Structure 1
Amino acid sequence: MILIWMLCILLAGGILCWLAAQRQPLLARWIALITVSADLLIACWLFPVYQAFPDNSSWFINYQANWIPALGVSFHVALDGFSHILLLLTYFLGILAVLCSWKEVRERTGFYFFNLLWTLAGISGVFIAMDLFLFYFCWEIMLIPMFLLIILWGDVRRHYAAYKFFLFTQAGSLLMLLAILALYFIHGQQTGNYTFDYFALLQTALTPSTAMWTMLGFLIAFVIKLPAVPFHNWLPDAHGEAPTAGSLLLAGLLLKTGAYGIIRFVLPIFPQAAADIAPWMILIGVAGIIYGALLAFSQTDLKRLIAYTSVSHMGFVLVGVFSFSSIAMQGVVMQILTHGLSTGALFLMAGMLKERLHTRDITKMGGLWTSMPRLGGMAILLTMASAGLPALGNFIAEFFILLGTFSNNPVLSIIATLGLILSAVYSLRMMQKVFMGPLISTVPVVDLSARELIILTALSISIVVLGLFPQPVIDTVHHLSTIHPLLHE
């Protein structure tokens, strides 16, 4: 029941933060930090357990208990290597989200950390739920506290951004709910067993037209969250107005739930329908790579610039998943990890600059390297990672994706390569506008504090380690090559 304990720790920690802050606001911060750290330690402890498992290509934790037996709903959670890596990412970024909020959040501290921890609990539930009703339940739990984080602690246009985020995501969620119910009833009519269990629904026989329509219900929900063009419109506003920790969780984790959903549900349950729509999805992915990069180059708002880089980088995920190549799939998992780390770090950097300069406009920055050499040094490493330079994790991810895609679709893979060039262009423009040239701002600024330096150093080391030693991640997710019958080496 260790997975249930991990969820309960976060849920109980959130409630404790809310109650403790009524007497001592500082206590809520420490409770949040200890809570997420405890889950990270448990997830790290599970790593050698997984390595010692006789067959590390299967589910090494699988727990199921009745929840609503009359409807075929169970509390079914399970963990394989892919889910385990995503849990490690969730709790690592969760700790950094708590740390970066340490001094930024001064109002309703307890309720803030309650929402932060419940968002992490919802994300964790999404990564381990093996009952589709439970999966949908966690998907919705993840949405509501993030909506509150944006609307209560966001920037000037936070109401507009929060409602836009909610409506886009909720529209996709309703389509997914209809698709889940369709699977539930079709499977029940075929077998007489009405259940939401993932492993049972994998055996459901669907006609081609039914499979396509049902798959689209899942797929649209996941590409909205990813987000893919043309469903990306909510992302820049949500990122631009969210508090720093909210942007970190959005970029590092919430977008990854869309990628996870496609890999875990769309490909295994609807293999033929996924194969039929694959060329179109690769085309949409390539369009997102180019379009997101061009829009990133044109931005003057630092957080919106970084948000559009996410649209571009998530295009690589879509291309890799639907290329049906095991090498590209390994690259997709690396992209999920490295994008969460590098783009999350860039949002933290943007929040630190906003806190000091009270603006996100890069035309009002410039020459900051002189007064902030430590942040400037970190920023150049992070922009190099975003641009996909060798020896950093992003390079491994995008190289694997392009290599795997080239054998299936060489033309689109070559076009997608332009995204690497464009990412270098907008990354260098960002560095030049913010840190190079003459000093523009008259506001006195101080360099990174010890807390901020620890946060960015942890992220920077992680990116370098993934770039130099990607094999442990690749070994852990090697079993993903079995999720689709058309997947090839």
Structure 2
Amino acid sequence: MTSIPWLTVLWAIPMVGAALVMLLPAAQRVLAKWVALAVSLAVLAVTAVVAVGFDPGGEQYQFVESHRWIPSFGTGYILGVDGIALALVVLTAVLVPLLIVAGWNDAHDRLSWGGRSVHVYFALTLAIEGMVLISLVSLDILLFYVFFEAMLIPMYFLIGGFGGNRTGEGNDEDRAKRSAAAVKFLLYNLFGGLIMLAAVVGLYVATAGSDAFAAGTFDFREIVAAVASGEFVVNPMVMHLLFGGFMFAFAVKAPLWPLHRWLPDSAVEATPASAVLMMAIMDKVGTFGMIRYCLQLFPDSAIYFSPLIITLAVVGIIYGAIVAIGQTDIMRLIAYTSISHFGFIILGIFVMTTQGQSGSTLYMVNHGISTAALFLIAGFLVSQRGSRLINAYGGVQKVAPILAGTFLVSGLATLSLPGLAPFISEFLVLIGTFTRYPMFGVLAASALVLSAIYILWMYQRVMTGPVRPELAEGDNKLHDLRPREIAVVVPLIALLLVLGVYPKPALDVINPAVTHTLTTIDVPDPAPRTAGGPVR
């Protein structure tokens, strides 16, 4: 099994699948959908092989592949997976088939793209999956950067070309909003990427001028080993600037307040399936980059700037929750909750404790599942009514009890109710924060009350009370979840319940990688405290 390049197979399947979908005849729209679904299931099968073969107690990076790419630039085709990357690879592989089913009809009635809108839509989805996967398993910094930036292009077209009214092109105002959201998404992220490119080049120049390396290199493992051993020594100000370049790009992608402005518009204007692809999968590459590249390549800078980043994260947690309370648009409300949740993830990373980083990595997975469930169910509801406004609904639970029930469970998961998956990860982040920064822990915990307000108040206004007449009769009568929609929602609810009561399998994979990260940057956990002070 080790002779098979599983990680190459992992990312190549969706990329080849995207090309295959595009090569199908324009009239074969249904076949294009089934081919895309089959390709995503093949990725899930390969992921299962990698997950089963991964040894949490073994080498840090496993299934390693290393080949020459551009030797004159010190860059290679180097792949490997650790516990943190594996958790996100599994999340990606599980969600994409569900998103394909959820977006089964999102491009069906469009007449654009030369009559190949269905082909383009699913090919772009598969392309993003492939680019995310290679970004997660890359151990070469330049290779990572190339696909970190490249994934913006297919997402731009998914937002600008397929967002808005999923049953047609919409009016001129709809197209203008969709285009504006797509451009804002692209400009924000491209600007962050250009700043990171300068840092990537700067890091290469620094390695080329160091006695620790025979020549300039982009090999992540080699640079981290030299940093940890003290052989790679650079002026602290230079390292701060390089750290800032990487961190800025990841903070835009994540997004970290105040660099979040692109997310609500993009999430609202995209189709629900594309919005989940962006928030639950693609944006996780930003937080993944923080814990892998920012901490391990620039440990001193990460420690130096951690109070500032933690402050911004806590502001984002509270800001996202407060703004969510005031929203009148269901989809925009859910988008702002993600800003709050990304704040928790970034907080857990930069408090630099075992509990914080383990909780943060698990939070990436749990947020992906809970956001997918809540956003997709809301999308199923909105697609029937044709309105995202909260005041356009009322009494939905009497007309569509399954939809209302699953929406409630997903909403309770979003507010981290005990027994559902996000509770464990949020609890770990808060515990890790309290051990090093008690005041920040108190401020972050205040968002628990705010999250209860925005979720339960939204549920009350949309799902309870008397049924609005137009929802119970006539052409706009609501129906409950259809079998295809149930097939999407049930696995997500099941995962929320299973990981809520038994997160051990995930943490067993994540914890060794987190421990290695903290050991590499030489930041031990704070000593336990008693009433008399630290325990000696």
Provide TM-score, normalisation by structure 1. Answer: 0.98
Alignment coverage as a number of residue pairs = 487
Q: Which amino acid aligns with 2:508?
A: D
TM-superposed deviation, 1:488: 1.8
SS in 2 for 1:407: helix
Matched, 1:247 2:256: no
1:386 to 396, 414, 423: 414
1:238 aligns to 2:266 (yes or no): yes
- Three-state SS of the structure 1 residue aligned to 2:35 is helix
Q: Give the whole-Å Cα distance in 1 for the aligned partners of 2:299 and 2:330.
A: 40
TM superposition shift of 1:21: 4.7
How far apart in 1 are the matches of 2:445 and 2:337?
15
Distance 1:188 1:441, change over 3 A: farther
Is residue 488 of structure 1 aligned with residue 525 of structure 2? yes
Give the unaligned 5+ runs of structure 1. Answer: none
One-letter code aligned to 2:372: G
Q: Aligned equivalents of 1:488 and 1:41: distance in 2? A: 37
CA–CA distance in structure 2, aligned partners of residues 304 and 400 of structure 1: 28
Structure 1 equivalent of residue 492 of structure 2: 459
Alpha carbons of 1:487 and 1:235: their partners in 2 closer, same or farther (altered >3 Å)? Answer: farther
Letter paired with 1:153: F
Q: CA offsets, 1:344-401, max 9 Å, x none? A: 1111012111210001011111111111100111011011101111011111011100
Q: Is the 8 A contact 1:248 1:345 kept in 2?
A: no
Match of 1:197 among 199, 216, 219: 219
1:366, 1:441 within 8 Å by CA — same for their partners in 2? no
- In the alignment, the residues of structure 1 paired with residue 23 and residue 349 of structure 2 have an alpha-carbon distance, to the nearest angstrom, of 43
Q: 1:147 aligns with which of 130, 147, 156?
A: 156
Question: Is the Cα–Cα contact under 8 Å of residues 345 and 382 in structure 1 kept in the other structure?
Answer: yes
In the alignment, residue 10 of structure 1 is paired with which amino acid? P
Amino acid across the alignment from 2:68:
N
User: Which residue of the other structure, out of 292, 312, 315, is the alignment partner of 1:284?
Assistant: 312
Distance 2:369 2:495 in 1: 8
Code of the residue aligned with 2:301 in structure 1: it is A
Match of residue 138 from structure 2: 129
Pairwise CA distance, 1:451: 1.1
Question: Equivalents in 2 of 1:343, 1:147: separation in Å?
Answer: 21
Deviation at 1:206, TM superposition (A): 2.1
Q: Distance in 2 between matches of 1:369 and 1:28?
A: 35
Correspondent of 1:338 among 355, 366, 383: 366
1:180 is matched with: 200
- Residue among 326, 330, 333 paired with 1:298: 326
Which residue identity does 1:451 align to in structure 2? R
Aligned partner (choices 50, 64, 68) of residue 54 of structure 2: 50
CA contact (8 A) 2:106 2:162 kept: no
Matched, 1:33 2:42: no
Displacement of 1:441 in angstroms is: 5.8
How much has 1:472 moved relative to structure 2? 1.2
Question: Match of 2:77, SS?
Answer: strand
**Counterpart selection for 2:183 from 140, 163, 172:** 163
Matches within 5 A, 1:362-401: 362-401=390-429
Check whether the contact 1:150–1:241 (CA below 8 A) recurs between aligned residues: yes
SS in 1 for 2:433: helix
Aligned counterpart in structure 2 of residue 9 of structure 1, from 13, 17, 27: 13
Deviation at 1:23, TM superposition (A): 3.4
Shift in Å, 1:264: 0.5
Q: Which residue of 2 aligns with 1:474?
A: 507
Query: Alignment partner for residue 483 of structure 2, among 440, 450, 469?
Result: 450
Q: Give the C-alpha shift of residue 56 in structure 1.
A: 2.8
1:323 to 351, 365, 372: 351
- Structure 1 residues 252-291: aligned runs within 5 Å: 252-291=280-319
| Paired residues of 2:152 and 2:186 also in contact (CA < 8 A) | yes
Higher-Rg member (1/2):
2
Q: Which contiguous aligned blocks of 4+ residues in structure 1 show a shift greater than 4 angstroms? A: none
1:418 to 424, 446, 451: 446
Residue deviations 1:99-122 (CA, integer Å, cap 9, x gap): 011122213100111111001111
Aligned residue number for residue 171 of structure 2: none
Which residue number in structure 2 is paired with residue 101 of structure 1? 103
Give the C-alpha shift of residue 205 in structure 1. Answer: 2.3
Distance in 1 of aligned mates of 2:383 and 2:412:
24
Which 5+ residue runs of structure 2 have no aligned equivalent?
Answer: 111-116, 165-173, 227-231, 471-475, 527-536
Q: List per-residue Cα deviations over 1:413-445 (Å, max 9, x = no partner).
A: 011101111001100011112111122361211
Structure 1 position 10, deviation (Å): 0.6
Change (3 A) 1:487 1:178: farther
Alpha-carbon distance, 1:7 to partner: 1.5
Cα deviation for residue 297 of structure 1 reads 0.5
Q: Which moved more, 1:56-65 or 1:81-90?
A: 56-65
Is the 1:122–1:142 contact (alpha carbons within 8 Å) kept by the matching residues of 2? Answer: yes
CA contact (8 A) 2:204 2:216 kept: yes
* Offset from partner CA, 1:191-219 (integer Å, 9 cap, x none): 34122111122223222111111100000
| Equivalent position of 2:83 in the other structure | 81
Provide the rounded CA distance (Å) in 1 between the counterparts of 2:188 and 2:42: 33
